[in-house]
Amino acid sequence: MKTVTVVGASLAGLYAARELRAQGYDGRLVIIGAEPHFPYDRPPLSKDFLANKDFLANKDFLANTDLAADSDFSANKDLAANADEAAAAPLGGAAPGGANAGGAAPGGATRGGAIPGGPTPGGVTRGRPLPGQAPLDETTPDEAPLALTDPDEIAELAADWLLGVHATALDPRGRAVHLDDGRTVVTDGVVVATGASARRLPGPRLAGVHTLRTLDDARALRAELTRGPRGVVVIGGGFIGAETASTCAALGHDVTVVEAAPLPLIPQLGPEMAAFCADLHRHGGVRLLTGTGVAGLRHAAVGGTTGPERVTAVELTDGRLLPADVVVVGIGATPNSGWLTDGALADRDGVRCDGGCVTSLPQVVAVGDVARVGGVRAEHWTSATEQPRVAVRNLLAAHTVETFSALPYFWSDQYGSRIQFAGHRPADATVRIAEGSPDSGSFLALYEQAGQVRAALAVNRPRPFMKVRRRLRAQRSAEPDGTRSARAAP
């Protein structure tokens, strides 16, 4: 393979790029990212970042000043301006210096040869990032810790970063990626890592209504939350909704969570643990309204009839009206697979892969939130970091030589409680509290089926959780087929 293109420059895309280099791929590496940012971490966006805590506390301060002092990140602003301009410029041609090699498609396909360093007319950066293309604000203490990579690693990866650019299509043979700026990247292999987008409510966009998926979302929401106490309505009691509600409450806002199901998180945690999480809201001073949907949003023009429309209240299906200054819509995410128009590759529930992250085209693999691996699509941080090793191995081998079998794991921080979950929860599992007690706010719960532990949930109980997680993992690798479980705990 001479060129591998990673589409999606976030967690899974970065891990895929790392794996490509770590597994010996030394060809051209192109990374395409729709956001203007270098890869950053999303979980803190609903937690410490939103809380605007001194997120670096005792740990990241020095690294942060290190980053800020790094010449490539703080370097001269004209370069930044150039890069910005370049990225925004129309992109008919290829980079100067022969990036447009051999038989390029019309519209300026880049193929083969290296794209020279520095900003090019195509807004491509090779090696170390330019300030204009590192729009995490490294000089602010709260954004620097979100960065998933640093200038040294970016240089080591020796990739062409095309940031602020959407892939719009993959050619039917998987040999070229078309971009929204008119360019085409001719490629031998593709890693799809386009993740997911926050689902929105239908209707016009209103001021005061937010989703929380991207850094820009989090910046916008945080700006509203720092303007004094507000009435916040969170629509959806899933993990992101719950974390956002918890953070808003900690910031002193008046918070209501609206959940359509009888309890939030039942599909993820089962009824017993869902009930525990519902209590977390109540103990945290947040109103939780369940079993009712949202009929619509009320709004009014700000500053007279001509101003922008701003949300004023949330209307529930049971007729209640909840006044709201700020509404956070946390109703899940949809996989960003729409750009793959080939129905054999992807549908509305993501990119269809075999157990080894390989699609129907052996040179196209998928990882992270967008990938439905062996029929299962996870939206977990850990899967996005673990799948790339297997996917890249199979990509480089040109067929599936390894399948992905890691044990599902996720965590969530709400109301001062750290929830950790691992395993597969069968719908008919019974829950046993193995240590501690829900009342004390620290416990380990085991999901058992036929006397076997299938999954575990811990709240503020990290050590015993680690033990069970390891046991579940060991059991899983011992039983490579369907019935994965661990012996009942002592």
Partner 1 sequence: MIPVCRIEDLPAGESVRLDTTPPVAVFNADGALYAVDDTCTHQDASLSEGWLEGCLVECPLHAATFDLRTGEPMCLPARRAVRTHRVSVVDGTVHVHLTEPTAVPVSVRTPATTTASAAVTSGPLATKGSAA
Instruction: Please report the DSSP string for 446-489 in residue order.
Output: EEEETTEEEEEEEES-HHHHHHHHHHHHHHHHH--SS---EEPP
Instruction: Please report the DSSP string for 282-341 in residue order.
Output: HHTT-EEEES--EEEEEEEETTSTTSPEEEEEEEETTS-EEE-SEEEE---EEES-TT--
Instruction: Please report the DSSP string for 235-292 in residue order.
Output: E--SHHHHHHHHHHHHTT-EEEEEESSSSTTHHHHHHHHHHHHHHHHHHTT-EEEES-
Does the footprint of ligand FAD cover residue 339 (CB under 6 A)? yes
Among 48, 143, 379, 448, binds ligand FAD (CB under 6 A): 379
Q: What angle do CA 414, 418, 421 make, to 5 degrees?
A: 110
The residue ranges that bind partner 1 (CB under 8 A) are 18, 43-44, 48, 57-60, 62-63, 66, 145, 148, 150, 152, 381-382, 385, 411, 413, 418, 420, 462-463, 465-466, 470
* Diameter of the chain measured on Cα atoms: 69
Q: How many CB atoms lie within 10 A of CB 376?
A: 14
Per partner kind, with CB cut-offs from 5 to 8 A, the member of ligand FAD, partner 1, none near residue 232 is: none
Closest to partner 1 by CB, 43 vs 241, is 43
Among 91, 212, 232, 434, binds ligand FAD (CB under 6 A): 212
Among 196, 233, 364, 407, binds ligand FAD (CB under 6 A): 196
Does the footprint of ligand FAD cover residue 45 (CB under 6 A)? yes
Closest to ligand FAD by CB, 313 vs 407, is 407
Closest to partner 1 by CB, 161 vs 465, is 465
Per partner kind, with CB cut-offs from 5 to 8 A, the member of ligand FAD, partner 1, none near residue 336 is: ligand FAD
Closest to partner 1 by CB, 287 vs 380, is 380
Pairing of strands 184-186, 189-192: unpaired
From the list 288-296, 347-355, 368-376, 424-432, the region that binds ligand FAD by CB under 6 A is 368-376
Type of residue found at 437: S
Does the footprint of ligand FAD cover residue 36 (CB under 6 A)? no
The token duo for 137 is: 């604000």
Per partner kind, with CB cut-offs from 5 to 8 A, the member of partner 1, ligand FAD, none near residue 289 is: none
Instruction: Please report the DSSP string for 63-99 in residue order.
Output: HHHHHHH-HHHH--HHHHHHHHHHHHS---S--TTT-
From the list 72-80, 92-100, 345-353, 367-375, the region that binds ligand FAD by CB under 6 A is 367-375
The Cα 426–Cα 239 span in angstroms is 20
Closest to partner 1 by CB, 101 vs 466, is 466
Per partner kind, with CB cut-offs from 5 to 8 A, the member of partner 1, ligand FAD, none near residue 60 is: partner 1
Residue with tokens 């075999």: 354
Residue with tokens 């590759």: 345
Strand partners, 291: none
The Cα 309–Cα 315 span in angstroms is 16
Binders of ligand FAD: how many residues, by CB under 6 A?
37
The Cα 293–Cα 279 span in angstroms is 20
The Cα 348–Cα 352 span in angstroms is 10
Least gap, CB of 61 to partner 1 (angstroms) = 9
Closest to partner 1 by CB, 91 vs 191, is 191
Residues 58-97 as x/- pattern, contact with ligand FAD by CB under 6 A:
----------------------------------------
Question: Which residues contact ligand FAD (rule: CB under 6 A)?
Answer: 7-13, 32-35, 42-43, 45-46, 166-167, 193-196, 212-213, 240, 336, 339, 368-370, 379-382, 384, 410-412
